[in-house]
Amino acid sequence: MTEQSTRQVLQGNEAIVEGALAAGCRFFAGYPITPASEIAELMSLRLPAVGGTFIQMEDEIASMGAVIGASLAGVKSLTATSGPGFSLMQENLGYACVTEVPCVIVSVMRGGPSTGLPTSPAQGDVMQARWGTHGDHPIIVLSVSSVSDCFDITVQAFNFSEKYRVPVIILSDEIVAHTREAVTLPSVQKIEVFERIRPSVPPEWYIPYEDNSRGVPAMAVMGDGYRHHVTGLIHDTKGFPTDRSEEVNAFQRRQFRKITNGFYEILMTKSFMMEDAEIAVIAYGSVSRSAQHAIIAAREKGVKAGLLHLITLFPFPKKDVDPVLRQCRSVLVPEMNMGQISREVKRVNLTSKVVAINRVDGQFITPTEIYNKLLSM
Amino acid sequence: MPEKVERLRHDYLRHDKKFPHVWCPGCGNGIVLGSLIRAIDALKLEKDELVLASGIGCSGRMPVYVDLNTLHTTHGRALTFATGIKLANPSLTVLTVMGDGDATAIGGNHFIHAARRNLDLTAIIINNQIYGMTGGQYSPTTPYGSRAATAAYGHIEHAFSIAELAVTAGASFVARGTVYHAKLLDKLIAKGISKKGFSVIEIISNCHTQYGRRNKMGDPVTMMQEFKDRAVTVEKAAKLSPEELADRITIGVLTDIDKPNYTEELQKIRDIAEKNR
Ligand SMILES: Cc1ncc(C[n+]2csc(CCOP(=O)(O)OP(=O)(O)O)c2C)c(N)n1
Ligand code: SF4
C-alpha cells in the first residue's frame, strides 16, 4: 500500500495481508495451517515494520482470544486459519458476537471434515461460518474469488466489522489462496477506511450497550477512561449480566436489527450477462470464475446464460437472488460441497428449478463441467 | 480500619452493580477480592489503566464487581484475551483471575505458554481443588482419594501443583498463599503485579459448599483453620524432607527471576523491521 497505485503479482493470501494493512489492521494472532499459513508468515514480516504486532499463539482458540483482546484495546485485528482451526475458533467467535467486538477471521477452505484434504480446494465450511458458534446470532460472511477480491473484500470486511461491531468472516479457498495474479492495488488515498464510533459523552454518562438508531452502540476502548464490564453472558445496556426476559429480548433483537439496517451495503453480489439471461448460474469463490468462462462459451452456442456472483454469503443476499429466480427458467448452483448454498437458494423460492453441481473429491469445478450442464438444461 | 475498608469499598467496587454477589457466604473468593483491591490500592495504580480479566467459574464472577476495565471471557481463555490486550496496549496493567479448573484443565495449555512467553501479565489462580460453579466435579488439583460429584467412589487421579507447574513453564514470578493468610496475600499480589514478566499467584481457597461438604471438612472457618495448620513458609520448607512436606502447603515466593520481557523484545523487532522497510 503506497501513495500511488501499484501493479503487483500476488497470491490470494498475500493480497489479504495487503488489504488488511490498508484497512488499518495492526494485530495478527494465528496458528499455522495449510492453506492459510502464508497470511501469518507475511504478517510476521509486515506488521512489525508498521509498528504492529504479530504473535503465533499456542492454538486457534488462543488466537481468537488474543484477536478479541487486541480489538478491545483498540487495535484492528485479524486471524487466518482453515477447517480444523476454524472449528477451534468457534467458541470465542461467539464471544466476539455477544460482546460486539470488531474483528476479521479468514478461513481458507480445504477439504474436510477433520484433517480431510489439507492441500485440496473445497467450500465445505460455508454453513460452519454461518452457524459454527452456538446460539442464535447474526454474522457477516464474505467470499473471495480472485486476488483483487482478496484485497478489496478484506478492506470491506474490516469496515463492516468496525461499523457494525460484529466479527466478519472471509471465506477463501485453496485455489484463490494460492493463485498468483496481477493486481492493481489502489493508492492509500483511494481506500475508504471506517473506524469504530467511539463514545463522545463524558465517561460517567457512557452506557456501553445503549441502543441507538443504528443499533450499534459507541465502543470505548480499554484504557481510554470509559471503564466498563465486558462479558459473554447476555447483558443489559450497562454491560452487566441479566436474565430478565425483556432485557434479553432487547439485546438479542438489537443484534439482528443492526445487521438488517445495513443490508443496503452488506449484501454484495455481482451480475454478469444477466440482462437477458434465461438460465442463471449462482456461484461464489473460485467456482464463480469457472462459471464466467462457461457462460461465455454457452452464449456462443446460443444458450442465454448469466451469472449471479455472490460476494456476501451471509446474511444471505435474498434480495438479489429472488429476482434471478423469477427471471430464469432454471438456476444452476455449482459448489465444492454437497449443496450448502444451493439449499439457501431453494429456501428463497421453493417453486423455481434449482440444479446443483456438487464436488467433494478435492477437485476444482471446471468451466467445462458447468458448460456441459448449461447446455443440457 | 473501618474507615479504610469503607474507602476501599467506595473507591474500587462498582456503585452501579447490584449486590449481593453470587458467592456463597464464607467463600474464599471474597477474601481474594479484598486482597486484590488492597494490593492495587497500595501500588497506587490508576483504575483506568488496570484491566481485570477472568475465565468462567465462581472465580470468574469477580471482575463484574470491581470498578476497573473488566472482562469476563470464556472458560479457560482469560490469558489469551489478556495477551491480546497487553500486546495492543502495553501501558495497561493486565491482571487475570482464574479458577483451578479454568486455568489448568481447559486453560492449561494457555497457562503454560503464557508462562513460557513471559508477557507482563499477572495470573491470580484461586485453587479450591474443585469445580465450584458447576457443582463439585473434580479438577486437576482435586486430591487423590477425595470425593467429588464425578468421583462418588473417591478420586483415582493425581493432582498437580499449579505453582510448581508455573515455575517449570518459566514464569518470572511465582508465589503461593492461602485465604487464611490474607495479609501475606496482599503482599504477594502486589509483588506479582509489580513484577515485569509473567507472574502467578496461586491461592489455596475453600469451597466448603462443593468440596468441603462432600469431604466432611466442616465450615469455612474450619477449612481456613486447616490451611493455617498445614501452611509452611518457603524458608521453613527448604529445611524439610519431601515426606515431611507431603501434606503441607508451602507459602511465600517460590520464584522471582528476571527474563527478557516480551513487549521490549517486540519493540526491538519493530525497530529492526522499520529500518529494513
Ligand atoms: C467450554 C466450557 N466447558 C464447560 C463449561 C462449564 N463450566 C463452567 S465453570 C466450570 C468449572 C469451574 O471450575 P473452576 O475453574 O475450578 O472455578 P470455580 O468455579 O471453582 O471458581 C465449568 C466446567 C463452560 N462454561 N465452558
Ligand atoms: S460454590 Fe464454592 S467456589 Fe463457588 S461460591 Fe460457593 S463456596 Fe465459593
Radius of gyration for the alpha carbons in chain A, expressed in angstroms and rounded: 21
- Cα separation of B177 and B175, whole Å? 7
Alpha-carbon dihedral sign for residues A167, A173, A176, A178: positive
* CA–CA distance, A27 with A221 (Å, rounded to integer): 15
Q: What domains can be seen in chain A, in order of their start residue? A: 6-190 (3.40.50.970), 269-376 (3.40.50.920)
Q: Which of B194, B197, B200 is nearest to B260 (CA)?
A: B197
Rounded to 5 degrees, what are φ and ψ at B38? Answer: -65, -35
Rounded to an integer, what distance in angstroms lies between the CA atom of residue B194 and that of residue B93?
Answer: 9
| Tens-digit pLDDT profile for residues A26-41 | 999 999 999 999 999 9
The model's confidence at residue A188, banded by pLDDT at 50, 70 and 90, is: confident
**Minimum mean pLDDT range among A136-145, A183-192, A277-286, B100-109:** A183-192
Percent of chain A whose predicted confidence (pLDDT) is above 90: 97
Interchain CB distance below 8 Å, A91 and B113: no
Query: A112 in helix, strand or coil?
Result: coil
Ligand nearest to the CA of B214: 2
Write down the CATH superfamily of domain B2-276.
Answer: Thiamin diphosphate (ThDP)-binding fold, Pyr/PP domains (3.40.50.970)
Q: How high is the pLDDT of residue B20?
A: 84
B130 phi, psi to nearest 5 deg: -160, 165
The three cell numbers of residue A253 are 433483537
* Grid coordinates given for A182: 496481477
Cβ–Cβ under 8 Å, residues A183 and A210: no
Q: Could you give the ipTM of this predicted complex?
A: 0.97
pLDDT digits (tens, 9 = 90+) for A223-277: 999 999 999 999 999 999 999 999 999 999 999 999 999 999 999 999 999 999 9
CA B52, A85, B273, A51 torsion-angle sign: negative
| DSSP code per residue over A289-323 | HHHHHHHHHHHHTT--EEEEEESEEES--HHHHHH
Residues near A377 by beta carbon (within 8 Å), at least 6 away in sequence? A279, A330, A332, A355
> Are A167 and A139 contacting, i.e. CB atoms less than 8 angstroms apart?
yes
Q: Rounded to whole angstroms, how far apart are CA atoms B85 and A70? A: 5
- DSSP-derived secondary structure letter, A238: T
CB B48 within 8 A of CB A73: no
List pLDDT tens digits, range B197-210: 999 999 999 999 99
Residues A203-208 have a mean pLDDT of 97
Statement: residue A350 has pLDDT above 90: no
Alpha helix stretches (DSSP H) within A145-241: 147-164, 174-178
Amino acid at site A319: K
d(CA A133, CA B80): 18
Chain position carrying cell 517449570? B168
Contact call for B80 and A53, based on CB within 8 A: no
Strand, coil or helix: B245: helix
Joined together, the cell numbers standing for residue A132 give 459454527
Q: Work out whether strand B249-256 and strand B173-178 pair parallel, antiparallel, or are unpaired.
A: antiparallel
Does residue A347 carry a pLDDT above 70? Answer: yes
For chain B, where are the E strands, in sequence order?
Answer: 50-54, 69-72, 93-99, 121-127, 173-178, 199-204, 231-233, 249-256
In chain A, which residue's Cα lies nearest the Cα of B65? A229
What pLDDT is stored for residue A1 in this prediction? 53
Q: For B121-179, how does the pLDDT look when each residue is reduced to its tens digit (9 = 90+)? A: 999 999 999 999 999 999 999 999 999 999 999 999 999 999 999 999 999 999 999 99
The pLDDT of residue B1 is 72
Residue B209 DSSP symbol: I
Q: Stretch A114-133: mean pLDDT, rounded?
A: 97
Stated as kind and residue range, the H or E segment containing A80 is: strand A77-81
DSSP-derived pairing of the beta strands A117-121 and A77-81: unpaired
Examine the pLDDT at A339 and tell me if it is beyond 80.
Answer: yes
Q: Which residues form the pocket of ligand 1, taking CB atoms under 6 Å from any ligand atom?
A: B 56-59, 75, 99-102, 126, 128, 130-134, 139, 207
Binned at pLDDT 50, 70 and 90, residue A2 comes out as low
A253 contact partners, CB below 8 Å, separation of at least 6: none
Whether A223 and B91 lie within 8 Å, measured CB to CB: yes
User: Residues A16, A80: contact at Cβ < 8 Å?
Assistant: yes
- Residue percentage of chain A with pLDDT more than 70: 99
AA identity, residue A36: A
Closest to A92 (Cβ–Cβ): which among B17, B74, B113? Answer: B74
Ligand 2 binding pocket, CB closer than 6 Å? B 23-24, 27, 29, 58, 128, 132-133, 207-210
The Å distance, Cα B221 to ligand 2 centre, comes to 14
> What three-state secondary structure class fits B202?
strand
- Say what the pLDDT of residue B16 is: 87
Give CA separation, B45 vs B14, B40, B71, B92, in Å.
Answer: 17, 6, 18, 10
For ligand 1, atom 26: residue with the closest CA = B75
Mean per-residue pLDDT over chain A, rounded:
97
**A124 CA to chain B: closest CA distance, Å?**
27
Q: Which of A66, A224, A229 sits opposite B83 (nearest CB)?
A: A66
C-alpha distances out from residue B137 to A335, B197, B214, Å = 46, 33, 11
Cβ contact A224–B48 (<8 Å): yes
3-state secondary structure of A330: strand
In sequence order, which residues have a C-beta less than 8 Å from that of residue B47 and are 6 or more positions away?
A227, B12, B67, B68
A174, HSE (Cβ side, Cα atoms, 13 Å): 22
Among B70, B88, B277, beta carbon nearest to A75: B88
Are A81 and A36 spatial neighbours (Cβ–Cβ below 8 Å)? yes
Record the cell numbers describing residue B245, joined without a space.
Answer: 512436606
Q: Which of B69, B79, B133 to substitute to test the interface with A, most A CBs within 10 Å?
A: B69
